[in-house]
Amino acid sequence: MDYSENIKLHTMANGVRIITEKVPGVKSCSLGFWVGTGSRMEREDEQGITHFIEHLLFKGTETRSAKDIAESLDSVGGQLNAFTAKEMTCYYARVMEEHLPLASDVLTDMLFHSTFASDFMDKERGVIKEEISMYEDSPDELIHDVFLEAAWPDNPLGTPILGTAESLDRIDRDMVRRYIDRQYVPERIVIACAGSLEHERVVELLTPAFAGLKQAKQPALIPAPAALSGNDAHLTKDTGQVQICLGTRGVSAPDDRNYPLYVLNNVLGGGLSSRLVQTIREERGLAYSTYSFNSAFSDSGIFALCAGTSPQTAELVVSLIRQEMDLIRKDGISAEELMRAKEQVRGSLYMGLESVSNRMNRIGRNLLLLDRIISPEETMEKVDEVVREEIPALAEYLFEGPQVLATIGPS
């Protein structure tokens, strides 16, 4: 199937999909292996295993040591990395066009031939525990975990991606193998490549490694949808600031309300001209950082407004955030705000497309989460169609339901 002159899709017999985007005028390419599994797909006794596996794939294969893997792309000026999210894991590389076969070979070797040696598992457990400690020492990052745990206390969406020190100690080699067999299945794998490339050559490179991957005997774990709790949570820490995160329901990734939400989010907390920044930072000097965001998942979403302020002004900042929520719900936005938000979305979108890594991320995420590619032109066409009258109705939907308030700071 051809999506356009430059974006092409090939589906292997076993369900693995290879999607490419040829980008004229560049010399590099970005290759990513996307797996439709994340911390949301973990059972209670597996907490942190998805992220643990992401680390372990860099620790040695049958023919490459951890050092060999680290040096493989460094030696040709390339980059190799990975990340784990709530519903996906991605292993990716960026190299000059002539080194794409090497990147393909290294990534497939990691994916299919990692040894998960016990000594490396023990060392990596220690590394991730240090990562958890580093995260816990950063309240402006930790607040997101506190917030999500309060929002979804009985659902894997609310558990930390890194797991805990205790949960990591429970994970052994057999658990790792069982999880991979269950979750790393062909119908959940997307191979995305963008940059200087030929589609047929990418298919030729990747097909031998993935053709033998058999479909699962049982479906991969798909958890039940999550409903927002309406809980509040406070984590006491001896910090100079109180971190605040006030959240409501959002919209899911396939929902067309994402387009007016791009506008609403931009107006509320998406940039220096946003209402939160102007009201809380510029007019009153109560915060250095304040912003809003929507986290969209396959079947649900969460919208949040955040700030960091002194303990003495925390209650005032929360009231100001709620005041802005009420104002946009009641009065909507001005014509000038609508125009400015659309231009900011346009600029962010098209400037991001100047990176082959961003293009690879876009087509990989689109195909994995939405089962189709949404072109930049389609995105902007739908954003341009947003009218002011849609914003109060969307704000009413977002803000009328349960709200979650999470804070970190002195008691």
Annotated catalytic residues are: 54
Q: How many CA atoms lie within 13 A of 73 on its CB side?
A: 27
* Alpha carbon distance 10, 223 (integer Å): 29
Q: Are 120 and 156 in contact (CB under 8 A)?
A: no
Instruction: Please tell me the distance from the alpha carbon of residue 273 to that of residue 290, in angstroms, as a whole number.
Output: 12
Are the C-beta atoms of residues 230 and 405 closer than 8 Å to each other? no
Indicate the SS3 state at residue 294.
strand
CB 125 within 8 A of CB 65: no
Query: How far apart (Å, rounded) are the C-alpha atoms in residues 324 and 310?
Result: 20
Q: Which residues contact 351 (CB under 8 A, 6 or more apart)?
A: none
Of 209, 216, 208, the residue nearest 185 (C-alpha): 216
CA distances from 312 to 52, 146, 198, 392 (A): 40, 21, 59, 32
DSSP for 139-163? HHHHHHHHHHHHH-TTSGGGS-TT-
Whole-number Å distance between alpha carbons of 93 and 193:
10
Phi/psi for 242 (5° steps) reads: -105, 125
* Region label for 15, one of left (φ > 0), alpha (ψ between -120 and 50) or beta (otherwise): left
d(CA 366, CA 370): 5
Rounded distance between C-alpha atoms, residue 374 and residue 298, angstroms = 15
Q: Tell me the C-alpha distance between 47 and 293, whole Å.
A: 25
In the structure encoding, which two tokens stand for residue 43, read together? Answer: 């059972």
Helix (H) / strand (E) containing 224: none
Task: Kindly state the helix (H) or strand (E) to which residue 33 belongs, with its residue range.
Answer: strand 28-35
Within 10 angstroms of residue 316's Cβ, the number of other Cβ atoms is 14
**Residue type for position 398:** L
CB of 294 closer than 8 Å to CB of 301: yes
